[in-house]
């Protein structure tokens, strides 16, 4: 917005104000009561317009400063050269200069208000999103990365070399399930970057002690970061110390529709369950599914029927039975 015209107007009124003030002070002997009144008006005018002066001089553009300065100087100089040499004699009284000073003061105040109306108001800033500190389990889970890929999450993220070392160690294991988890975590790191999100991999401070999890909590505390984890003990430890924690399980539970008893699903059975005859698998969002009577079908995709839902600190567990008739999909 171009404020130069209103700035020039303000400068002109400032120059005129100083000219009339000088005229009133030097032209006539003023009674003390009139002098006190003029002094009060002058003080009010100065104090009222001072914030406008400060904003223009400190926050205005060079054009605004030059417009204000030159217009005030030109008018004040013209007044000194043209008006003041033609001083009337004392018989004319002090009424004209006093009234002229009052009008000049009001005009200067109005011009200052015009400048203030033309000053753009700073728009309130939304609070910045906290930087996310992802642990090993969060990378393996991958759901925060999925939110970034969808364009829902725009936060910056960081992790540590200790977390990256854990992912690489898992990816090099001989156990196929563990190896798949490690590779999924490393793939999630690449997906995060591919989604255009900032990722800083930090060195762990040499003064840090304890496990990787302990050092993550220390880093989150020191940097005011939000810890992202699906590890329930780590979540409890961080929360107890006042670290904000984002658990993707809880986040996705709040976003997705709930399962219902009797609903049929397809799941890949990947391991034996704790009880006899049980097999376990996972839904696409990572939800653990325990299927009764399915131990002999491990390594297959089967259709199941939900029998019970259990909410835990780490997310939901689904208990199910084989759908009747049993359908082997792979």
Based on the domain organization, do 13 and 70 belong to the same domain? yes
Higher-pLDDT residue of 8, 209: 8
Confidence label for 155 from pLDDT (cuts 50, 70 and 90): confident
- Tell how far CA 74 is from the center of its chain: 47
pLDDT of the residue at 184: 92
Based on the domain organization, do 209 and 291 belong to the same domain? no
Q: What is the mean pLDDT of the chain?
A: 77
Based on the domain organization, do 22 and 66 belong to the same domain? yes
Instruction: Answer yes or no: is 127 within a domain.
Output: no
Q: Which of 51-60, 90-99, 155-164 has the lowest mean pLDDT?
A: 90-99
CATH number, domain of 293, equals 2.40.50.140
Residue 262 predicted with pLDDT over 80: yes
Q: Do β-strands 279-282 and 301-312 pair in parallel, antiparallel, or remain unpaired?
A: unpaired
Could you write out the DSSP letters of every residue in 174-243? SSHHHHHHHHHHHHHHHHHHHTT--EEEEPPPTT--S-HHHHHHHHHHHHTPEEE---HHHHHHHHHTT-
Based on the domain organization, do 78 and 163 belong to the same domain? no
Domain end, chosen from 228, 254, 280, is at 254
Dihedral of CA 310/269/166/227: which sign? negative
The two tokens of residue 264 are: 């049929």
Report the C-alpha gap between 38 and 235 in whole angstroms. Answer: 70
pLDDT of the residue at 1: 44
Based on the domain organization, do 198 and 241 belong to the same domain? yes
Confidence label for 327 from pLDDT (cuts 50, 70 and 90): very low
Confidence label for 113 from pLDDT (cuts 50, 70 and 90): confident
Residue 163 predicted with pLDDT over 70: yes
Residue 23 predicted with pLDDT over 80: no
Based on the domain organization, do 163 and 65 belong to the same domain? no
Report the C-alpha gap between 24 and 10 in whole angstroms. Answer: 21
pLDDT of the residue at 118: 54
Report the pLDDT averaged over residues 17-31. Answer: 70
Instruction: Answer yes or no: is 12 within a domain.
Output: yes
Instruction: Answer yes or no: is 125 within a domain.
Output: no
Ramachandran area for residue 293 (φ above 0: left; ψ -120 to 50: alpha; else beta):
left
Domain end, chosen from 213, 234, 254, is at 254
- Determine the structural domain holding residue 193 and report its residue range: 132-254
* Tally of structural domains, the chain: 3
Instruction: Answer yes or no: is 122 within a domain.
Output: no
Based on the domain organization, do 185 and 110 belong to the same domain? no
Residue 81 predicted with pLDDT over 70: no
């Amino acid at each position: 917005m171009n404020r130069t015209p209103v700035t020039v107007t303000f400068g002109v009124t400032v120059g005129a104000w100083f000219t009339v003030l000088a005229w009133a002070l030097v032209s006539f002997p003023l009674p003390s009561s009139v002098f006190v009144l003029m002094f009060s008006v002058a003080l009010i005018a100065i104090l009222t317009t001072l914030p406008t002066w400060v904003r223009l001089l400190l926050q205005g553009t060079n054009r605004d400063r030059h417009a204000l300065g030159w217009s005030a100087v030109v008018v004040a100089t013209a007044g000194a050269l043209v008006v003041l040499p033609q001083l009337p004699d004392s018989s004319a009284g002090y009424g004209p200069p006093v009234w002229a000073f009052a009008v000049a003061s009001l005009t200067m105040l109005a011009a200052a208000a015009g400048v203030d109306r033309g000053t753009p108001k700073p728009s309130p800033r939304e609070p910045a999103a906290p930087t996310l500190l992802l642990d090993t389990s969060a990378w393996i889970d991958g759901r925060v990365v999925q939110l970034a890929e969808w364009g829902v999450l725009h936060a910056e993220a960081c992790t540590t070399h200790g977390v990256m070392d854990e992912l690489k160690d898992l990816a090099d294991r001989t156990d196929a399930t563990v190896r798949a988890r490690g590779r999924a975590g490393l793939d999630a790191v690449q997906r995060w970057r591919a989604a255009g999100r900032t990722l800083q991999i930090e060195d762990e401070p040499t003064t840090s002690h304890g496990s990787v999890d302990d050092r993550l909590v220390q880093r989150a505390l020191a940097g005011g970061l939000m810890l992202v984890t699906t590890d329930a003990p780590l979540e409890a430890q961080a929360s107890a110390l006042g670290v904000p924690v984002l658990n993707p399980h809880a986040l996705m539970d709040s976003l997705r529709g709930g399962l219902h008893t009797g609903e049929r699903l397809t799941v890949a059975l990947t391991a034996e369950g704790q009880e006899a005859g049980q097999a376990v698998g996972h839904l696409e969002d990572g939800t653990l599914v325990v299927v009764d009577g399915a131990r002999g079908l491990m390594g297959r995709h089967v259709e199941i029927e939900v029998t019970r839902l259990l909410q835990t600190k780490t997310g939901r567990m689904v208990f199910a039975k084989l759908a009747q008739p049993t359908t082997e999909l792979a």
